Amino acid sequence: MERSSGVTGAPQVLQQRGERLLDIAVRYAAERHWDVLPGAWLEDDGATPYCSCGDHGCPAPGAHPLAADWSRSATGSTSVIHSLWTEHPRAAILLPTGRTFDALDVPETAGCLALARMERRSLPLGPVIRTPNRRMLFLVLPGATPKVPGLVRKLGWPHPATLDLTAHGEGTYLPAPPTRTGRHAPVQWAIHPTPANRWLPDAEDLLTPLAYACAQESPTPRFR
């Protein structure tokens, strides 16, 4: 499902394989103007990988901030990012939501179905993240989170939870590619950041195909 815009001279955010996390974090800030923050990482002693925080029962291994006051630690300064990842070169790259973007979070099967419909309708899309736990995160303009419940009700659903559709806004964060989580595999781009998708869509533009796809994939869809 990965695709690129084919734009010549595009920033090289998508060239991540084999690169240092430091360089990728710097480019997210420099090329996309995204704030980033360092997260815990996976330790691997040959047995089951565990979170660097030391808690073998960690609920989000390799995918939570290093600092308790993470919101203040998030930065778009390339010099600060360089210092942070020089100190913790294996740190996960996390992206705070509610600043330059929010995200609509749906099951991967629904996300793939929605992407096919969006492409047929030539809807503008921003970058889309695919996580190892089979979720897809569609980046949209900030401010989407408070609007989503009302928009979902207009579509005939009592609540986004009915559809397994979640909005991430202020106060939350996402793991950015190529962060590795507790399931070994790295987070990936389903749609890479490119100059063609620098301008993000409004959540309202994507919600109808996403809600429809979630309803199609739901085992027990319930309309209001």
What would the pLDDT profile of 130-168 be if each residue is shown by its tens digit? Answer: 999 899 999 999 999 999 999 988 888 877 888 899 999
- At 9 the pLDDT is 38
What would the pLDDT profile of 186-217 be if each residue is shown by its tens digit? Answer: 999 999 999 999 999 999 999 999 999 998 87
Cis check: omega of the bond before 201, within 30 degrees of 0: no
Q: What angle do CA 91, 92, 96 make, to 5 degrees?
A: 120
Quickly state the pLDDT bin for 222 (edges 50, 70, 90): very low
Structure tokens at 82: 């360089």
Percentage of residues in the chain having pLDDT higher than 90: 65
- At 94 the pLDDT is 97
User: Residue 15: inside a domain, yes or no?
Assistant: no
Quickly state the pLDDT bin for 40 (edges 50, 70, 90): very high
- At 110 the pLDDT is 96
Residue 71 pLDDT > 80, yes or no? yes
Is residue 94 within 8 A of residue 71, CB to CB? The reply is no
User: Residue 186: inside a domain, yes or no?
Assistant: yes
What does the alpha-carbon distance between residue 80 and residue 95 come to, in Å, rounded to a whole number? 15
Q: What is the span of the domain harbouring residue 35?
A: 21-217
User: Residue 205: inside a domain, yes or no?
Assistant: yes
Specify the length of the chain in residues: 224
User: Residue 62: inside a domain, yes or no?
Assistant: yes
Class of residue 58 by CB neighbours under 10 A (exposed 0-12, middle 13-18, buried 19+): middle
User: Residue 163: inside a domain, yes or no?
Assistant: yes
Average pLDDT of 79-85? Answer: 96
- Record the pTM: 0.87
User: Residue 11: inside a domain, yes or no?
Assistant: no
Average pLDDT of 42-66? Answer: 86
Average pLDDT of 12-18? Answer: 54
What would the pLDDT profile of 19-31 be if each residue is shown by its tens digit? Answer: 899 999 999 999 9
Question: Which residue has tokens 């996300």?
Answer: 111
Average pLDDT of 90-107? Answer: 96
Average pLDDT of 54-62? Answer: 87
User: Residue 45: inside a domain, yes or no?
Assistant: yes
Residue 70 pLDDT > 50, yes or no? yes
- Tell me the average pLDDT of the chain: 87
- At 159 the pLDDT is 78
Number of domains into which the chain is organized: 1
Residue 64 pLDDT > 90, yes or no? yes
- At 4 the pLDDT is 36
User: Residue 222: inside a domain, yes or no?
Assistant: no
Is residue 187 within 8 A of residue 132, CB to CB? The reply is yes
